[in-house]
């Protein structure tokens, strides 16, 4: 029986090992890990592998993913990464901790926490330069004062997020700034904060080079668990698996064709006027995979296959160096953007496997 195509094979053992190695590495200096589930849409088997690997929390930016994981029976502390608003009532019902930056939202969370006889835990995010979410340091003390006045919330920590929008690297300076703010808030308000969440997969280089990590005791890791990479320069982290996800698609046409289109030129399917180089007649293959499934620029194929282009549902390869027949399967590595899109595509089957075969017929280098 042939497996469904296109599909993503997800090697659970490799994800479990990545989670374990990262939990041990960061645990050596007292940093706990939130495993971030959004890139796999909270796929329960993948998240279970993260939990088995030792992550202490599961964090997602979408409430729906958290609800799915809970419905599947996963038991851990669930964290909502994106500050909620209209979903506040459902958030206090399904989520243990949420990240927040707006008083209006905290008021709603407190209101619904009261209605449901709950106490909702919050981490306040601080803006340290990346210009995505966060309260500016100069506004932090009054913000914390208001947060503490809301009776059904419990302030459990401070956090920051870097290297997402502005491309600002976590370094000794901004991590030290977060530690100083933690100390100030604790002194001013006579409290102790349990979770100081210093960032994401981009924090690896800082952690490896930092002499002192200050008050940082938590990181939220998605890409480094799933793809084995840090995200400042996308280097592989030593010892981690970087091929846990493989995208596999089938060849639906294989022919010798000229490399220059013929006829009168106009726009392509996406409104661009493409240009081509004449390389003579070449062996080409078409795969049943397209931009409606994946971010094609984030795919990495066999070294002898070249991706020439794609439309909504066809991917065109130059296969001159590596002949392909109709019905052959082609494997790809995915970067984070390609993984995110492929996991979200309803057309791509997600197949959970233990480990990848060592020698797939068209496996990677």
Ligand X SMILES: *Cc1c(COP(=O)(O)O)cnc(C)c1O
Q: At 333, list the tokens.
A: 């590595």
CB atoms inside a 10 Å sphere around CB 70 = 18
235 included as an active-site residue: no
Asked if 127 touches ligand X (CB under 6 A), the answer is no
Among residues 152, 147, 146, 80, the alpha carbon closest in space to that of 110 is found at 152
Binding region for ligand X (CB under 6 A) out of 13-21, 146-154, 215-223, 277-285: 215-223
Site for ligand X in 79-118 (CB under 6 A): 81
Asked if 216 touches ligand X (CB under 6 A), the answer is no
Asked if 231 touches ligand X (CB under 6 A), the answer is yes
Peptide bond into 166 cis (omega under 30): no
Tokens 């233990």 belong to 354
- CB nearer to ligand X: give 14 or 201: 201
Burial of 20 (0-12, 13-18, 19+ CB in 10 A): middle
Site for ligand X in 61-80 (CB under 6 A): 61
Asked if 38 touches ligand X (CB under 6 A), the answer is yes
Adjacent-strand bridge partners of 245: 10
Cβ 144 to ligand X, closest distance in Å? 19
Cβ 335 to ligand X, closest distance in Å? 12
For ligand X, the binding residue among 36, 46, 92, 340 (CB under 6 A) is 36
Binding region for ligand X (CB under 6 A) out of 24-32, 222-230, 294-302, 344-352: 222-230
What is the number of alpha carbons within 13 Å of residue 13 lying toward its C-beta? 5
Cβ 88 to ligand X, closest distance in Å? 18
Tokens 């609800």 belong to 67
Asked if 130 touches ligand X (CB under 6 A), the answer is no
- CB nearer to ligand X: give 203 or 331: 203
DSSP 40: G
Among residues 200, 198, 248, the alpha carbon closest in space to that of 225 is found at 200
Cβ 98 to ligand X, closest distance in Å? 11
Query: According to DSSP H, which parts of the chain are helical?
Result: 12-27, 44-52, 63-71, 88-94, 103-115, 140-148, 172-189, 204-209, 223-227, 336-344
Cβ 201 to ligand X, closest distance in Å? 3
Burial string for 317-339 (b: 16+ CB within 10 Å, else e) reads bbbbebebeeebbbbbbbbbebb
Asked if 223 touches ligand X (CB under 6 A), the answer is yes
Asked if 201 touches ligand X (CB under 6 A), the answer is yes
Adjacent-strand bridge partners of 254: 285
Asked if 41 touches ligand X (CB under 6 A), the answer is no
Asked if 221 touches ligand X (CB under 6 A), the answer is yes
- CB nearer to ligand X: give 229 or 322: 229
Adjacent-strand bridge partners of 197: 159, 218
Among residues 312, 330, 363, the alpha carbon closest in space to that of 251 is found at 330
Q: Of these residues, 2, 38, 169, 304, which one is catalytic?
A: 38
Binding region for ligand X (CB under 6 A) out of 110-118, 217-225, 246-254, 289-297: 217-225
Cβ 240 to ligand X, closest distance in Å? 13
Tokens 């729906």 belong to 64
Distance CA 85, CA 185 (A): 25
- CB nearer to ligand X: give 100 or 231: 231
Site for ligand X in 246-305 (CB under 6 A): none
Cβ 314 to ligand X, closest distance in Å? 30
Enzyme catalytic residues: 38
Binding site for ligand X (CB under 6 A): 36, 38, 61, 81, 161, 200-201, 220-224, 231
């Amino acid at each position: 029986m042939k497996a469904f195509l296109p599909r993503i094979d997800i090697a659970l053992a490799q994800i479990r090992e990545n989670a374990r190695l990262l939990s041990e590495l960061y645990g050596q200096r007292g940093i706990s890990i939130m495993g971030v589930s959004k890139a796999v849409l909270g796929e329960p088997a993948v998240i279970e592998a993260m939990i088995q690997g030792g992550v202490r929390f599961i964090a997602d930016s979408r409430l729906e993913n958290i609800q799915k994981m809970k419905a599947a029976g996963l038991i851990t502390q669930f964290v909502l990464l994106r500050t909620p608003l209209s979903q506040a009532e459902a958030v206090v019902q399904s989520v243990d901790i949420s990240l927040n930056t707006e008083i209006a939202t905290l008021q709603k969370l407190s209101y619904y926490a009261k209605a449901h006889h709950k106490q909702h835990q919050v981490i306040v995010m601080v803006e340290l330069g990346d210009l995505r979410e966060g309260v500016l340091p100069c506004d932090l003390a009054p913000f914390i004062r208001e947060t503490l006045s809301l009776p059904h919330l419990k302030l459990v920590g401070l956090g920051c997020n870097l290297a997402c929008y502005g491309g600002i690297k976590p370094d000794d300076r901004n991590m030290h700034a977060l530690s100083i703010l933690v100390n100030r808030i604790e002194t001013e308000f006579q409290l102790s904060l349990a979770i100081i969440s210093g960032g994401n997969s981009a924090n690896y280089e800082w952690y490896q080079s930092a002499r002192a990590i200050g008050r940082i005791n938590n990181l939220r890791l998605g890409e480094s668990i799933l793809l084995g990479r840090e995200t400042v320069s996308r280097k592989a982290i030593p010892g981690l698996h970087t091929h846990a996800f493989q995208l596999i698609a089938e060849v639906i046409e294989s022919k010798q064709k000229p490399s220059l289109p013929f006829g009168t030129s106009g726009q392509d399917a996406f409104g661009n006027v493409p240009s081509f180089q004449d390389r003579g007649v070449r062996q080409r293959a078409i795969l049943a995979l397209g931009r409606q499934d994946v971010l094609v620029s984030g795919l990495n194929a066999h070294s002898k296959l070249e991706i020439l282009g794609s439309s909504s549902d066809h991917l065109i390869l130059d296969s001159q160096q590596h002949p392909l027949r109709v019905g052959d399967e082609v494997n790809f590595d995915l970067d984070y953007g390609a993984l995110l899109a492929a996991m979200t595509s309803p057309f791509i089957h997600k197949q959970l496997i233990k480990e990848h075969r060592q020698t797939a017929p068209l496996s990677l280098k």
